Chains A and B, each alone.
Chain A
Amino acid sequence: MKCKQCEDILLNYNLEDIPENIKKQIDQHRNTCIRCSQLWEDNLLITRAMQELPDVKLDEERIPFVHAKIMDRVHQEVFRQSAHINPYRVPARFWQTVTTVAAALVIGIVLGNFVPGKPKPTTPDLPIASANFDELLKDNTLNDIRIREVNQTTGELVITASRINDLTLTGNITDPEIQKVLAYALVRDQNPGTRLRSVKLMEGVTTSKAVQQALITSVLQDENQGVRQRALRALSQYSINSDIRNAYLNVISNDPSPALRIEAIQILMRDEDAATRNAVISASEDETNEMIQDILKRYYQEPGQPLEKQ
């Protein structure tokens, strides 16, 4: 055997995995080669030492929490990416056309052949005091809602939207009327980024019925998992009533995301009422996810007893 072969074997294989006939060849080679002999000794020593090394022990109970954190981070990433997509991006050729038309207009004005039309009214700022929010929201015609500015310290924010004309609404997150607009945006707006910003802003609002209803609707119906997850967390700040409990149970039974189902179970686990316990067990009857089954067993199953309603 040559040094190169011996080295390759010793570097690639554990000593116990080397077949006996190869071991004999290595032994013969070691008698004549100090370097390979040293390599063999090192390998033997290190292999024994590594067998003594304590295994790093994984606390498996942490995995559901890690899972939820991962999915939360991934959803943030989804929104970060969607925020970079400019919905107003126009093709380059558009600017060519605009330039040509602008040049034609300038020439027209200069030549006196162009009669300017009635100037379009500028977008009015609609202060909170003068905004009739019920009127704005009643026909569900408010669309393209954008939360433009938020002052995290004072809660002041600026929202733009369009209905017949473009609107700019200014107000404070503590104002019930602004909360209604955000609730409306969460339930109605097409843009998941807007819905996510709305739900994040509403996380501190715990008294509004409109917000609570919007959060429940979002938890149950929003197509975007990230929005549903944030809505679920925002909803957890409210004290549990029958509507909220039913929403959680619905998530446990029907939501496609295990991360959301786990969060809903964990929220309801805080309620030690036997009726809640039974409802959670019923809602999870068809649960196939092993991780969730483990969580339920750990929390609800009496030692030595099957997991069942009391």
Chain B
Amino acid sequence: MNEIEIIRRAQAGDMAAFEQIVQTYEKRVIMAAMQVCRNQQDAEDITQDVFVSVYRNIGSFRFEASFYSWIYRITINMAFNHSRQKKYHEFLISEDNDDHYYAIAEDETTEFSENTDFQAVLDSVLKKLPEKQRTVFIMRYNQHLKIKEIAVILNIGEGTVKKYLFRAQEKLRVLLKPFKNQLFKD
């Protein structure tokens, strides 16, 4: 049975077909959610919400895009919502407060040395990006999606994607400056 047939059966209420869909995509959905929230427990919660949403809305899937990109879009939106619900915004810095990034880089206490755990710093820097910038950035640099693909998945304009990407890059450039030598020492 091919995927289209399985989806059609699931749309008609066949639970076995739906479970097959879950089995096919659950790992990829968890991975995609983990890229955004960088935490497996949260990713698992998001994955459950994603498939409940897929179940509710599978009837509206019209085979105009690939099924995975449809699920992926739901996943990203769910990951956004989850971030909000978990009050991640406490850790996020509003776009109006960009000066804070420059302050981090210029702060004497943030003088990174060879011994500084670069990976941990980068991880925490990414978490501190506003969620839209972070998501666009991760989709572009971690999942290697093109601007157009990101725009379609997030249902925003290509110009908006570029804007988020530029802002994220700008912040990261400042924050990564101290690591430049370390990154290019080879």
- Please provide the chain A residues from 44 to 76 with a CB less than 8 Å away from any CB of chain B in the complex: 45-50, 52-54, 56, 58-60, 62-63, 66-67, 69-71, 73-74
- B52 and A46: CB pair below 8 A? no
Number of interface residues of A (CB under 8 A): 40
Residue B9 CB within 8 A of the other chain: no
| Interface membership of B89, Cβ < 8 A | no
Q: How far is the CA of A69 from the CA of B44 in the complex (A)?
A: 9
Q: In whole angstroms, how far apart are the Cα atoms of A9 and B150 in the complex?
A: 15
What 1/0 flags go to B47-58 for Cβ under 8 Å of A? Answer: 110011001100
**A256 is an interface residue with CB less than 8 A from chain B:** yes
Cβ–Cβ contact A52 & B119, under 8 A: yes
For the complex, is A269 an interface residue (Cβ under 8 Å from B)? no
**A12 touches B (CB below 8 Å):** yes
> With A62-B44, A66-B47, A291-B23 given, is the CB distance from A50 to B55 under 8 Å?
no
Q: How distant is the Cα of A50 from the Cα of B126 in the complex, in angstroms?
A: 10
Residue B67 is within 8 A (CB to CB) of chain A in the complex: no
Which of A39, A47, A50, A62 has the most chain B CB atoms closer than 10 A to its own CB? A50
State the CA gap A215–B69 with chains docked (Å).
Answer: 41
From B70-78, B97-105, B172-180, the one touching the partner chain is B172-180
A74 closest partner in B (C-beta): B55
Contact partners of B172 in chain A: CB under 8 A: 42, 45-46, 49
Which residues of chain A are within 8 angstroms of B40 by Cβ–Cβ distance?
56, 58-59, 62
Residue contact B31 to A45, C-beta cutoff 8 Å: no
Q: What DSSP secondary structure best describes chain B's contact surface? A: helix
Known contacts A62-B40, A66-B48, A74-B51; decide if A46 and B141 are in contact (CB<8 Å).
Answer: yes
Docked-complex contact A258 and B19, CB < 8 angstroms: yes
Contacting residues, chain A, for B169 (C-beta < 8 A): 39, 42-43, 46
The listed residue (A39, A45, A66, A289) touching B180 by CB distance below 8 A is A45
Q: Is the CB of B122 within 8 A of A52?
A: yes
How far apart are the CA atoms of A71 and B20 in the complex, in Å?
11
CB–CB A58/B27 < 8 A: yes
Q: Which residues of B contact A256 (CB under 8 A)?
A: 16
Q: How far is the CA of A62 from the CA of B16 in the complex (A)?
A: 21
Interface residues of A in 262-310 (CB under 8 A from B): 289, 291
Q: What chain A residues lie within 8 Å of B82 (beta carbons)?
A: none
Given contacts A63-B27, A77-B56, A258-B19, A52 and B48 within 8 Å (CB-CB): no
Closest to A67 in B: B26
| A259: Cβ under 8 A from any B Cβ | yes
For the complex, what is the distance from the CA of A8 to the CA of B92, rounded to whole Å? 29
- Report the minimum CB–CB distance from B99 to chain A (whole Å): 19
B35 within 8 A of A: yes
B146–A66 contact, CB under 8 A? no
Contact of B52 (CB < 8 Å), options: A11, A45, A67, A74 = A74
Other A-B contacts than A48-B183, A66-B26, 5 sampled, CB-CB below 8 A, are A46-B173, A70-B47, A70-B52, A78-B15, A258-B23
- What residues of chain B have their CB less than 8 Å away from a CB belonging to chain A? 15-16, 18-19, 22-23, 26-27, 30-31, 34-35, 38, 40, 44, 47-48, 51-52, 55-56, 118-119, 122-123, 126, 140-142, 144, 146-147, 162, 165, 169-170, 172-173, 176, 179-180, 183-184
List of 5 A-B pairs having minimum Cβ-Cβ separation, nearest first: A56-B34, A48-B183, A70-B51, A42-B169, A50-B141
18 contacts between A and B (CB under 8 A): A48-B183, A49-B176, A49-B179, A52-B183, A56-B31, A56-B35, A58-B30, A58-B31, A67-B26, A69-B48, A70-B51, A74-B22, A77-B56, A78-B15, A78-B55, A225-B19, A257-B15, A291-B23
